[in-house]
Structure 1
């Protein structure tokens, strides 16, 4: 019986538009979450996919000994693509020239991600290789051509084998970002390793397996692999690399996460406001139903069914509109970036539907309970039940729900807490401020009959409702200001770390006597360049004369000394400097003392903070560095943070200037080369064949691409937030339309002119918007300062311009939308308004 009545009432309410409020709110929440999460996920996947190109795979497994063949067999069983690599050094001989080259032997499936770029001759155009070198052939980097004085088609000896040089190797996706091997690189077919006879049981070689597949396939495979990994085997993805690309990828994910959280907050606010308004508009129908004998149970069932139906319909509509919206947005972004965005997974669909259900349940629960308590006597006394309009319990439910939804969406507790706490601060400040301002309205001394007096009197009359409106307006403005600062300032700060004129070429293996001629060459050709840094490699052998555990041979059955101190399993590039380099900051200790330049004084060292825990270091410790067979002892005098995202060479350890002359070194620099310099640089390499150049243009382009994609994504989010914010404001203004009609009728009856009423209404919205904008701007800037320091690990700074932008934008935004909503009411005559009120 009640079901039939419920459907009849549902159809009538829907036709009258009573349910459109809550329908639009849930649909708004769903489409906002879906479109934001889909676009940010697709851009995030695209960024991660592009950065994976730089390790030539999605994951890689590294080792200094042979892999068990079962690893590759199992990977195939998990549906993964694989490739196998072997790195070793070997002498190359041709035309009476002998040079040590860095050999990379690859299987036919290499690379799994990215491109190998080659040329058919030194002067021809570069293009993407479709295969690896054929058996019996090698590809040499350009520097090797000059060093060996060979051409394409020449023969060259690699170890004991003789090979034909068939291509010029321009670039590889997984080439080292900065390595002393430079451009003395050779690409070899994996099947030809035995021909070189350079790999023997005692040879120093480096093995690598590459894997590509879906995240689920990779995760499943890693779960199988993890128990079998040896201590000297390393599983890596792009995020695991201590490199500019890894840093930029992590930073981009933080930006996209912030952008998505803003959409969640605004959608939740819209839902909370609209659900409460819908229930308030049902007070009279419920009172009438109770008067006619309707039981509480029947009424509860009817409205719960209504809520279920509207939730289902609105979720379907929100998903459909959100899908179209994200498709249009993603296509625009893809076209603008000249790329194809990967498809999003199921997460946006499931997350959006779940949030729609949670919003409908949690934000409607308390208003519905209040609705069921409406007394029948309200039919005669229309003010009964109005005391239920503001409920602390409903506010608490709403806040808890918003926090849980944000945490669910982000999975980052710290980020969620910062944004949520700043939102609570806005609410508390505005609620208190509204009470003070509106209560003091009559004491401001404004003359009677003025528009300002009428506006302030109206604000005072609706103090509670205006406080809620202020909070809603401020939250919308706060999110907009957040996104404006993210897009215009923080993204720009990030981009400034990779300026357009940054060096795009590293020049290494420079002998000391070649520094002056090379510097002269750069000046003559007007090529911008960096200083020349001394560089050498060394192994950290001991701390305070306590030796690190030595590597053991698993093959020979040796066991690791569990009590020995652990070190790091690589030899980093080291240098000595007199001044702290750009992008480095001392966080403990001090830079080198004056005595550090004394050749007889104690050598000092500044250590990257990330190695402090790895080596268990503290200030004053003495580090022993093994350089070739020579031991160098240095005292730790400072720890530094290093910004690896600047696409510039950085060092984990920097020694004091009195290190000079104690060991042989080479020098390196960086330069900004253009296409017009190609011929001159080729001549330079012919003149100094031992010098190597590393092209990092692709890395710079990749970093700039990541920044551009994040900036576009935030711009897309900002456009959605603007629309969502406008809908929240419209919903709030609509809630007061009936009361405003009554006020207009009363004022006209008392003789007030239309201009006075219109100006008073406009001033009311201007004041609400300006107050909300000012508070939103100040709180937003404080929250942004914390986010910069905690989330992005940069020195935070305030943005005073939004303190002006906030009130002005808030006043104009709220006034424009608010006045537009009530303009129709102002234009109607008194008789028409009375008919509507009745």
Structure 2
């Protein structure tokens, strides 16, 4: 059986019967494999880079000393560990030998102290220098006893050189080196302050650690991935109260979020190619099956059973699928190098090589496409009657309603498997099915309405219209196929222009690139005046008060009450509570109502939907917070969507103005500063030493760069879509090629010229392309608008541009492709055609 199936395969390959099917499957596999290889490499790179952003593979954080059992467990699992302590204090700077003019209190400065051991960092490298803006060099380990290291901006803010003596608690230190780069410097913007690094063994001598001192403890873990995963699993199986477990997935969330959005765009483009390839595969499979009806009839006449005939074709198609999947995977592997070059140096300088999982994805795509689109018509082919050998006019059905169900189910499975987002899949599939129905219904209606026009046009147009109306159902199916192909080509264009532009517009040129935190109420007027004096518009500050959630609807809450790690973390830590009179820009009420003027001072709260979902809350629920020792109960009155990607100051929790004003608030703002304006921040910190400045310009630049690179990558992947779109049109035209050949031969015999026949066929193709292109353009705009507003959450203005492009482009493209594909048919002598009828 295998030998005969292979003979069938070679015969079909040589005869060109498998050309369209092979091209469709290869493009399906190649498009998905290209993106899979690339995203696999980037995911591995980000895992490595995220480890550097933590200075470890895994971190256990707590406000109490880490359980000694955790350290012992690290030895048992053969993973490396490093211990650090973080706290805040003031340092006393010795200005006696300096020229700076200071007052009595200017030598006291607030700093964040980071006490590390000799193994820090476990991942990444510290970069130090021995002079301001001097040569950098890498280093692993802690400062020498009696020495501290500080960042460049601390030297500038405090106006001190290297070698300055500073007193920390009960011990004197020398500032010996400048920290140029710290692997784990990222984190919560609102908790960052000028940092000083010291040897953890010097901490007891400072006498800063006393009963009641607020100290953050961190245990860093690294090692082989399997060992670290085993350690994490063990730690999670026996959680300790107050511990926060931080993995590499928590590192640099802004970049990760932007890349995940970028990966989403690439996957959509690839999966659109897969969908188009699947349609081409299904159409090519129908044509392949029809052309094998006579072969099956002969096999039946020779006594082969239905199941045996199916098995022959099954083995042939399985071998075929393996071959074309390997070719597609090879093309995908080579193509991803170009994609990686487009995105080079964006995530990490040297992308690691991918693992073999993309090959599995490509192979599975080819196999699923085969099982879903090729085998159903072949399964029906087995029912061909042996009488077909003698009576060629016997009607053979190789299409059924179950085929449509299998087709949609296969597409849905492929998309869910790759995107993992049912909502997006539902929108795109709804657009696809809606377009199919609209195309078919409109096509049938148009074909019906065109019938009367046959009597009012010239003879060439009459021939073209006659072809459309005579093959009413087939013409409608062709319009549907053309329209679907054109729709997704146009949708890719929409993604390239409108959707990507909309994504870019969520980060305009004036996106804040600096955060100013730790501002006190009595400093607000002075800081605003400072910016005004420099010719910079003073920023708007937001208050922030910390409160711990202790009750929900009167029931006390503990971290152990929740399985969700985010819920546990929020119970263990304080909420950042703020207040507003008006709804903040970029926020949107999802449920409930925003408070009115008469709600001033009322115990209400507005929450981000993520908090609502984590704690399973609803409107009217009561939440109780402990704020600086006071108990405050508030009612959830509205759920508010927040645009977190805007880099504006946003809060999960907002309360009405007039409720928390009596508490000591920490004020925060974000602002956009040009390069020549950022220099004033050093002067600001000198005037207000307790203020913290956080520079996020690097993150924003990387995200904008990512957006630009994604636009190029989308253009690159559009090549797959264009090829497969043309392939769909060719396949659709091939379905009527035999009939056109017979018609042309008959017309030639009756005296019609080739020019006259071409004019009539051109009319048919022009109408087919224009009708399908117009409907496809409208569907592409509608689908793009739904994706923009419902999935990507940005405004989208509906445009009729794709409709006009679809009409003109569809008419021209279908006419050109149709004439090129039928020209050879018209060139054959009529006698050759009649011999094969």
TM-score, normalised by the number of residues in structure 1: 0.86
Cα 1:716/1:836, change in 2 over 3 Å? farther
Cα 1:124/1:300, change in 2 over 3 Å? closer
For the 8 Å contact 2:517–2:693, the answer to whether it is kept is yes
For the residue of structure 1 that corresponds to 2:606, the secondary structure is strand
For the residue of structure 2 that corresponds to 1:658, the secondary structure is coil
The corresponding residue for 1:673 is 673
The corresponding residue for 2:16 is 17
For the residue of structure 1 that corresponds to 2:198, the secondary structure is strand
Cα 1:314/1:654, change in 2 over 3 Å? closer
Question: Residues 641-656 of structure 1: matches in 2 within 5 Å?
Answer: 641-656=641-656
Q: Residue 478 in 1 paired to residue 487 in 2?
A: yes
Distance 2:817 2:760 in 1: 15
Shift of 1:149: 4.6
Cα 1:581/1:127, change in 2 over 3 Å? farther
Q: Residue 606 in 1 paired to residue 597 in 2?
A: no
Q: Residue 89 in 1 paired to residue 88 in 2?
A: yes
Moved more, 619-628 or 517-526: 619-628
For the 8 Å contact 1:143–1:183, the answer to whether it is kept is no
The corresponding residue for 1:746 is 746
- What is the number of equivalent residue pairs in this alignment? 818
For the 8 Å contact 1:623–1:633, the answer to whether it is kept is yes
The corresponding residue for 1:560 is none
How far does the alpha carbon of each residue in 1:345-365 deviate from its partner, in whole angstroms, 9 at most, with x for none? 322211221232233334332
For the residue of structure 1 that corresponds to 2:394, the secondary structure is coil
Cα 1:720/1:11, change in 2 over 3 Å? closer
The corresponding residue for 1:459 is 468
Q: Residue 155 in 1 paired to residue 158 in 2?
A: no
How far does the alpha carbon of each residue in 1:426-481 deviate from its partner, in whole angstroms, 9 at most, with x for none? 22332333333224432235535444332222222333333333333233223223
Shift of 1:227: 1.0
The corresponding residue for 2:34 is 35
Q: Residue 697 in 1 paired to residue 706 in 2?
A: no
Shift of 1:695: 1.2
For the 8 Å contact 1:37–1:260, the answer to whether it is kept is no
Q: 2:196 aligns with which of 175, 182, 186?
A: 186
The corresponding residue for 2:97 is none
For the residue of structure 2 that corresponds to 1:807, the secondary structure is helix
For the 8 Å contact 2:136–2:180, the answer to whether it is kept is no
The corresponding residue for 2:768 is 768
Shift of 1:209: 3.5
The corresponding residue for 2:503 is 494
Cα 1:602/1:785, change in 2 over 3 Å? same
Q: Residue 103 in 1 paired to residue 102 in 2?
A: no
Distance 2:621 2:135 in 1: 51
For the residue of structure 2 that corresponds to 1:229, the secondary structure is coil
The corresponding residue for 1:758 is 758
How far does the alpha carbon of each residue in 1:554-594 deviate from its partner, in whole angstroms, 9 at most, with x for none? xxxxxxxxxxx997332333333333222222233433432
Q: 1:584 aligns with which of 587, 593, 596?
A: 587
Shift of 1:529: 5.4
Cα 1:147/1:302, change in 2 over 3 Å? closer
Distance 1:61 1:816 in 2: 65
For the residue of structure 1 that corresponds to 2:139, the secondary structure is coil
Question: Residues 371-410 of structure 1: matches in 2 within 5 Å?
Answer: 371-385=381-395, 387-410=396-419
Cα 1:184/1:393, change in 2 over 3 Å? closer
For the 8 Å contact 1:738–1:837, the answer to whether it is kept is no
Q: 2:240 aligns with which of 222, 230, 239?
A: 230
Distance 2:117 2:477 in 1: 66
Q: 2:357 aligns with which of 340, 347, 354?
A: 347
How far does the alpha carbon of each residue in 1:636-669 deviate from its partner, in whole angstroms, 9 at most, with x for none? 5433222222222212333433358623345433
Q: Residue 834 in 1 paired to residue 837 in 2?
A: no
Cα 1:281/1:102, change in 2 over 3 Å? same
The corresponding residue for 1:569 is 572
Q: 1:321 aligns with which of 331, 337, 343?
A: 331
Moved more, 649-658 or 605-614: 605-614
The corresponding residue for 1:557 is none
The corresponding residue for 1:558 is none
How far does the alpha carbon of each residue in 1:614-648 deviate from its partner, in whole angstroms, 9 at most, with x for none? 56766566765544355666665433222222222
Distance 1:57 1:452 in 2: 74
For the 8 Å contact 1:147–1:690, the answer to whether it is kept is no
The corresponding residue for 2:276 is 266
For the residue of structure 2 that corresponds to 1:199, the secondary structure is coil
For the 8 Å contact 1:272–1:364, the answer to whether it is kept is yes
Give unmatched runs, 5+ long, in structure 1.
553-564
Cα 1:52/1:704, change in 2 over 3 Å? farther
Cα 1:375/1:586, change in 2 over 3 Å? closer
The corresponding residue for 2:319 is 309
Cα 1:217/1:435, change in 2 over 3 Å? farther
Distance 1:182 1:705 in 2: 26
Question: Residues 605-624 of structure 1: matches in 2 within 5 Å?
Answer: 605-612=605-612
For the residue of structure 2 that corresponds to 1:444, the secondary structure is helix
Distance 1:671 1:795 in 2: 24
How far does the alpha carbon of each residue in 1:690-724 deviate from its partner, in whole angstroms, 9 at most, with x for none? 33211112332343344345444433332222222
Distance 2:704 2:87 in 1: 33
Distance 1:422 1:77 in 2: 55
Moved more, 285-294 or 57-66: 285-294
Cα 1:498/1:295, change in 2 over 3 Å? closer
The corresponding residue for 2:424 is 415
Cα 1:300/1:258, change in 2 over 3 Å? closer
Cα 1:58/1:25, change in 2 over 3 Å? same
Distance 2:196 2:672 in 1: 26
Moved more, 164-173 or 258-267: 164-173
For the residue of structure 2 that corresponds to 1:568, the secondary structure is helix
Question: Residues 696-715 of structure 1: matches in 2 within 5 Å?
Answer: 696-715=696-715
The corresponding residue for 2:433 is 424
Q: Residue 139 in 1 paired to residue 149 in 2?
A: yes
Shift of 1:112: 5.5
Distance 2:307 2:653 in 1: 74
The corresponding residue for 1:721 is 721
The corresponding residue for 1:735 is 735
For the 8 Å contact 2:588–2:640, the answer to whether it is kept is yes
Please tell me the root mean square deviation across aligned C-alpha atoms, in Å: 3.8
For the 8 Å contact 2:557–2:571, the answer to whether it is kept is no
TM-score, normalised by the number of residues in structure 2: 0.86
Distance 1:499 1:127 in 2: 34
For the 8 Å contact 2:53–2:252, the answer to whether it is kept is no
Question: Residues 683-694 of structure 1: matches in 2 within 5 Å?
Answer: 683-694=683-694
Shift of 1:202: 4.4
For the residue of structure 1 that corresponds to 2:734, the secondary structure is helix
Distance 1:124 1:225 in 2: 43
Distance 1:294 1:549 in 2: 73
Distance 2:230 2:767 in 1: 58
Cα 1:241/1:12, change in 2 over 3 Å? closer
For the 8 Å contact 1:596–1:658, the answer to whether it is kept is no
For the 8 Å contact 1:455–1:764, the answer to whether it is kept is yes
For the 8 Å contact 1:13–1:19, the answer to whether it is kept is yes
For the 8 Å contact 2:543–2:665, the answer to whether it is kept is yes
The corresponding residue for 1:662 is 662
